[in-house]
Amino acid sequence: MTDKTTAKTQPVLLSGGNPQIPKGYGDGPVQDYIAAMPGWKSGVGAWLDGLVVRTVPDVQKAVKWNSPLYGMDGQTWFLSLHCMTKYIKVAFFRGAELEPVPPVASKQAHVRYVHIQEGETPDEALFAEWIRQASKLPGEKM
């Protein structure tokens, strides 16, 4: 028999273990997403969210399309993350303009990704520099 209270509080995980979180603006929906990230991914999500806030204290946040977004004006976005089956995909929407360019190419010429695998320790200084640079570029309307 299933405990109905527990069933209601468990997040729905979509393909690849990505949490299904209602669209919303502000820190609350982003924290809900991070809390719902499965396993090791939640710790990495919290680390990345904290790094963004420390690097860009006036960052705006939202969840759209089941992904946290980070931007400067609440309408355009410079970074997002998304749970995949074996990694977290961090998207820099103007990543091709960053120095150094993040390692994973996209079908969109200006987008670049970083894939964080379980057990990896991301280079915090490099991530902070990418975040700082990305926050100063024009954001993407989403």
pLDDT for position 78: 98
Exposed / middle / buried, residue 96 (Cβ in 10 Å: 0-12, 13-18, 19+): middle
Q: Tell me the pLDDT tens digit for each residue of 48-86.
A: 999 999 999 999 999 999 999 999 998 899 999 999 999
Structural domain spans, the chain:
15-141
> What is the end-to-end Cα distance of the chain in Å, rounded?
42
**Contact between 95 and 113 (Cβ < 8 Å):** yes
What's the pTM?
A: 0.89
- Distance between CA atoms of 1 and 96, rounded to whole angstroms? 52
pLDDT band at 12 (very low <50, low <70, confident <90, very high): confident
DSSP 33: H
Looking at CATH, the fold of the domain delimited by 15-141 is given as Aspartate Aminotransferase, domain 1 (3.90.1150)
Q: Tell me the pLDDT tens digit for each residue of 70-129.
A: 999 988 999 999 999 999 999 999 999 999 999 999 999 999 999 999 999 999 999 999
Count Cα atoms within 13 angstroms, Cβ side, for 77.
Answer: 19
